[in-house]
Chain A
């Protein structure tokens, strides 16, 4: 699907007038978002900063690699900080079909064992952060089958004109799985990423706000390098920042195996 959409995006990107006039439908805007190239493979460090409602902060650091195997996405993450969990690793196979359960393995260095972990729901929180598995996995993209989109005009934030797209779950089951009743994206047509995204829980309460805090072009790819999310109900928040992002470094296919996980950092 990624490759299919590429020609469409080139057409649309080439007509800024259509964008300015707000002539795009919600589906078209989302198609542009999903058309953004994100590289065959990437290696990077990411730093997770968790803040509880009393302002206490916990920091975790990781090294992560990701590679596409056709439509399947494989990720391996090793924690480097805090020291007590150094070497703890997660290997994940994300299958393209949203209904297919992902596969996930855990490595605990103190035990020197790889254990398979049962799949998480897409709406579950990612490794104790305020981001969901779905958001981490999609990397600023949006699963079109989950939503019914509608364009809601535009809004100027920090001097940028952002396109507002509202999504409502395409079925009750999706709403339940993702734990949402409505999502509002504010998409910057310059980069085709949402700058500010609001999530509303199944009761319609304003649940979370994700902000895109930094975007850089690295190795020719537009890359979100810092983003934060605030959970309005718990007062808990998470900031993830990416460092040393490298789309060129070799990420061999055999990196994404249980035996590699077992070798640790």
Chain B
């Protein structure tokens, strides 16, 4: 619009042969590191490294050597459950094959085929493998029904393994295999699946593979498959939108180049900075495609209008004129979108979301740079000057009116004829939105990253239903001095703690060193059930510990208690991974531990997978509102500053606020919970939605300054800007709509919610905004820039 703007773009095009290689070089340089991009699908990736819950979990991995396992369940719901010859032989075979996988630590595989039965009889202590071929205790040879019966009786007599190694109903038994390295999760999971597939099992027996190791392993493949389908589809849909909107080869090819430069650059920089590609990063690709293409749509629209309206201009001058018109709105929308992304990045405690926000902002910036430079250069270099059909004039000289243009004009006529009705509907929607948003529930479940039809999802549900649970909740007990765990008083407290934990919802069973002490105490007392107690003599406790250490592998011992007998772990199995369940467990347990420990005897800290899950989502739970308010505040402030008017800034924020509110309301009414995918939508939607309002207001102000605020003036908003906004909306909504076909449920929700938000924002920008302007006639709309008198000379575009 401004003369200075024209000068800049004239200069750019004069040096276009220099600019072109520089820009292409910039794309290449930013994309260079792309092959180094690392994937990280672990759940821990979502937590800041300094979060106490994760610090403690890692601390426990260090001290006790516990890592996230792959869990294989053999399930047989028959009368004799898993205790028959075939099932136990299957467990033995599976265990040996899994131990031989290179990604699995063979010494950290736990199953009926690796664990020992510890018991006592008149003679002495029995420490025997359940399935070992030559044992003195088990009489029948392995592979017989008699042995299966003996094993069943042994498990019935051994509380430690009940619910943990074998389900309490006897219908399930687990093989728990720890990974050598989390990074090998995919290979390990595939290896375990191959082993399971190669097994022929008896009728009625089923094998399931689950566990955090499996989830991590599968998620990676799952995401790759999803990405390789979604991203081309988004590109295709957007290209189709461009073709329909412009009916021009230029308009289909050039925006794709801008998209390519933006996406390659953003992810290249992500790789160069050493940031991983997380589960949610997939959403960013589609996001950037939508944003990059929106800039192009507005610039191309303007360019074709200039070509049509000013036939005398040559190609280069037409590009300069179009850019001079569009640089301001495109820059404004880029700034507000960047503000939205940065607010997301700053307000989130989770590294993947921080990265999403940061690289989203970088992507928007790159899209702006390429739209402001590469696009005009390429447009001016494009060999033809053809005006595409939707912009061409009829033979009689009148502008050809396309369907989209007609539809938008018709919409405009109705809106402007009944502005009060429009505002009333807007207010009604607002009330409806508030009511719905109040019903919003918070929920997150990691396994819900998978569709319910996925085997890993089903495995999770089945194992949790047939055993004490697949998720672990730990309490780390620490005493101030070495050998503190020999204190009978402390062990009794741990026993009470276990009893308390077992009363918590979804907690199936608990294990601790106390169980071993009691089992060993009973073993050394001829197996007398009355001796299943904690001894009163600290020396005997010490000697039972010693006996346990002597009868186990050195690393087994490490899993339970540290060297100085200062630290030990109490582990509960939890069968429900939902946030709302974790929320009922972790805080109350923390309170219990605070009251009953944390004195001169010992301190206790609640940790484990369940606690980490609780805290990471608790972070979202709290930061969502903050993040939304911060993003909303950031874009509103940006709009106020850019329009240099509080009234216009607030007007611009209005469609955005309504859009967010309506999405929360849709979620509230339909029972879609606020989870990881759904909590991010707001900040993204704010950044995208504000664009519609800014383009609309910018144009309305331009028209109002020319001819004042009237129905007649505002009608002119619709044919060109309205049409461009419409295609902008279709492209963005289409891009995010693609996410609804994703296999990853959180992305499906994320995509649909952003699509709803963008639709609302688009509609509000072309209905509510003009209606309000017409009713309120804000003076800021018609006042001119005092500080920039040159703007008084506006280039008319109609």
Residues B558 and A108 in contact, CB atoms below 8 Å apart = no
From A56, A118, A205, A231, contact of B127 by CB (8 A): A118
Inter-chain contacts of B524 with A (CB < 8 A):
108, 111, 113, 115
- Known contacts A116-B124, A203-B106; is-contact A110 B537 (Cβ 8 Å): yes
From A84, A110, A233, contact of B105 by CB (8 A): A233
Q: For the complex, is A190 an interface residue (Cβ under 8 Å from B)?
A: no
Contact with B along A55-68 (1 / 0, CB 8 A): 01110000000000
Q: For the complex, is A236 an interface residue (Cβ under 8 Å from B)?
A: yes
Measured in the bound complex, the distance between the Cα atoms of B423 and A61 in whole Å is 87
Q: For the complex, is A202 an interface residue (Cβ under 8 Å from B)?
A: yes
Residues A127 and B137 in contact, CB atoms below 8 Å apart = no
Measured in the bound complex, the distance between the Cα atoms of B100 and A201 in whole Å is 9
Residues A52 and B563 in contact, CB atoms below 8 Å apart = yes
Range, interface on chain B: 35 or more
Q: For the complex, is B62 an interface residue (Cβ under 8 Å from A)?
A: yes
Residues A56 and B555 in contact, CB atoms below 8 Å apart = no
Q: For the complex, is A105 an interface residue (Cβ under 8 Å from B)?
A: yes
Q: For the complex, is B107 an interface residue (Cβ under 8 Å from A)?
A: yes
Contact with B along A108-142 (1 / 0, CB 8 A): 11110111111111001101111000000000000
Residues B563 and A84 in contact, CB atoms below 8 Å apart = no
With CB as the reference atom, state the residue of chain A lying closest to B537. Answer: A110
Inter-chain contacts of B546 with A (CB < 8 A):
79, 84-85, 88
From A85, A118, A127, A231, contact of B128 by CB (8 A): A118
With CB as the reference atom, state the residue of chain B lying closest to A201. Answer: B106
Contact with A along B539-562 (1 / 0, CB 8 A): 110111011011111110110001
Contact with B along A7-47 (1 / 0, CB 8 A): 00000000000000000000000000000000000000000
From B135, B543, B555, contact of A108 by CB (8 A): B543
Give the Cβ gap from A149 to chain B, nearest Cβ, in Å.
Answer: 25
- Known contacts A54-B63, A108-B543, A236-B555; is-contact A116 B99 (Cβ 8 Å): no
Residues A202 and B106 in contact, CB atoms below 8 Å apart = yes
Q: For the complex, is B120 an interface residue (Cβ under 8 Å from A)?
A: yes
Residues B543 and A202 in contact, CB atoms below 8 Å apart = no
Inter-chain contacts of B557 with A (CB < 8 A):
128
Inter-chain contacts of A130 with B (CB < 8 A):
554
Inter-chain contacts of B107 with A (CB < 8 A):
233-234
Residues B540 and A118 in contact, CB atoms below 8 Å apart = no
Q: For the complex, is B584 an interface residue (Cβ under 8 Å from A)?
A: no
Contact with A along B60-92 (1 / 0, CB 8 A): 001101000000000000000000000000000
With contacts defined as CB atoms under 8 Å apart, how many contacts are there between chain A and chain B in the complex?
118
Inter-chain contacts of B21 with A (CB < 8 A):
none
8 Å CB interface, B511-554 against A: 523-524, 535, 537-540, 542-544, 546-547, 549-554
Measured in the bound complex, the distance between the Cα atoms of B105 and A57 in whole Å is 24
Residues B99 and A115 in contact, CB atoms below 8 Å apart = no
Inter-chain contacts of B100 with A (CB < 8 A):
202-203
With CB as the reference atom, state the residue of chain B lying closest to A99. Answer: B134
Inter-chain contacts of A111 with B (CB < 8 A):
524, 540, 543
Residues A236 and B558 in contact, CB atoms below 8 Å apart = yes
Residues B554 and A106 in contact, CB atoms below 8 Å apart = no
Q: For the complex, is A53 an interface residue (Cβ under 8 Å from B)?
A: yes
Measured in the bound complex, the distance between the Cα atoms of B551 and A116 in whole Å is 13
Inter-chain contacts of A110 with B (CB < 8 A):
535, 537, 539-540, 542-543
Residues B137 and A236 in contact, CB atoms below 8 Å apart = no
Q: For the complex, is A146 an interface residue (Cβ under 8 Å from B)?
A: no
With CB as the reference atom, state the residue of chain B lying closest to A119. Answer: B136
Contact with B along A221-265 (1 / 0, CB 8 A): 000000000010110101000000000000000000000000000
Inter-chain contacts of A129 with B (CB < 8 A):
554
Inter-chain contacts of B562 with A (CB < 8 A):
52, 56
Q: For the complex, is B123 an interface residue (Cβ under 8 Å from A)?
A: yes
- Known contacts A128-B554, A234-B65; is-contact A106 B125 (Cβ 8 Å): yes
Give the Cβ gap from A50 to chain B, nearest Cβ, in Å.
Answer: 7
- Known contacts A106-B125, A111-B543, A113-B524; is-contact A58 B564 (Cβ 8 Å): yes
Measured in the bound complex, the distance between the Cα atoms of B546 and A85 in whole Å is 7
Residues A115 and B120 in contact, CB atoms below 8 Å apart = yes
Give the Cβ gap from A66 to chain B, nearest Cβ, in Å.
Answer: 18
With CB as the reference atom, state the residue of chain B lying closest to A56. Answer: B563
Inter-chain contacts of A54 with B (CB < 8 A):
62-63
Measured in the bound complex, the distance between the Cα atoms of B207 and A198 in whole Å is 37
With CB as the reference atom, state the residue of chain A lying closest to B137. Answer: A118
Measured in the bound complex, the distance between the Cα atoms of B126 and A118 in whole Å is 5
Inter-chain contacts of A166 with B (CB < 8 A):
none
Residues B543 and A84 in contact, CB atoms below 8 Å apart = yes
Measured in the bound complex, the distance between the Cα atoms of B563 and A57 in whole Å is 7
Inter-chain contacts of A105 with B (CB < 8 A):
124
Give the Cβ gap from B192 to chain A, nearest Cβ, in Å.
Answer: 14
Measured in the bound complex, the distance between the Cα atoms of B102 and A202 in whole Å is 11
Measured in the bound complex, the distance between the Cα atoms of B125 and A111 in whole Å is 14
Inter-chain contacts of B120 with A (CB < 8 A):
115
Inter-chain contacts of A52 with B (CB < 8 A):
558, 562-563
Contact with A along B114-135 (1 / 0, CB 8 A): 0000001001111110001011
Residues A84 and B124 in contact, CB atoms below 8 Å apart = no
With CB as the reference atom, state the residue of chain A lying closest to B542. Answer: A84
Measured in the bound complex, the distance between the Cα atoms of B100 and A205 in whole Å is 10
Measured in the bound complex, the distance between the Cα atoms of B549 and A82 in whole Å is 14
Give the Cβ gap from A229 to chain B, nearest Cβ, in Å.
Answer: 10
Residue among A90, A110, A130 with the highest chain B CB neighbour number at 10 A: A110
Inter-chain contacts of B563 with A (CB < 8 A):
50, 52, 56-58
Inter-chain contacts of A234 with B (CB < 8 A):
65, 107, 554-555, 558
Measured in the bound complex, the distance between the Cα atoms of B554 and A125 in whole Å is 7
Measured in the bound complex, the distance between the Cα atoms of B547 and A53 in whole Å is 22
Q: For the complex, is B146 an interface residue (Cβ under 8 Å from A)?
A: no
Q: For the complex, is B486 an interface residue (Cβ under 8 Å from A)?
A: yes
Q: For the complex, is B483 an interface residue (Cβ under 8 Å from A)?
A: yes
Measured in the bound complex, the distance between the Cα atoms of B126 and A231 in whole Å is 27
Residues A118 and B135 in contact, CB atoms below 8 Å apart = yes
- Known contacts A58-B563, A117-B124, A117-B125; is-contact A127 B550 (Cβ 8 Å): yes
8 Å CB interface, B38-64 against A: 62-63
From A58, A117, A202, contact of B551 by CB (8 A): A117
Please give the residue numbers on chain A whose beta carbons come within 8 Å of chain B beta carbons, in ascending order. Answer: 50, 52-54, 56-58, 79, 82, 84-85, 88, 90, 101, 105-106, 108-111, 113-121, 124-125, 127-130, 201-203, 205, 231, 233-234, 236, 238
**In the A-B complex, the 3 residue pairs with the closest CB atoms:** A116-B124, A84-B542, A110-B540
- Can you show 26 pairs from A to B with CB atoms below 8 A apart? A50-B554, A52-B562, A54-B63, A56-B562, A58-B563, A84-B483, A84-B486, A84-B543, A85-B542, A101-B134, A106-B124, A106-B547, A108-B543, A110-B537, A110-B540, A115-B125, A115-B523, A116-B124, A118-B126, A121-B132, A127-B549, A128-B549, A130-B554, A203-B101, A231-B555, A234-B554
Please give the residue numbers on chain B whose beta carbons come within 8 Å of chain A beta carbons, in ascending order. Answer: 62-63, 65, 99-102, 105-107, 120, 123-128, 132, 134-137, 483, 486, 523-524, 535, 537-540, 542-544, 546-547, 549-555, 557-558, 562-564
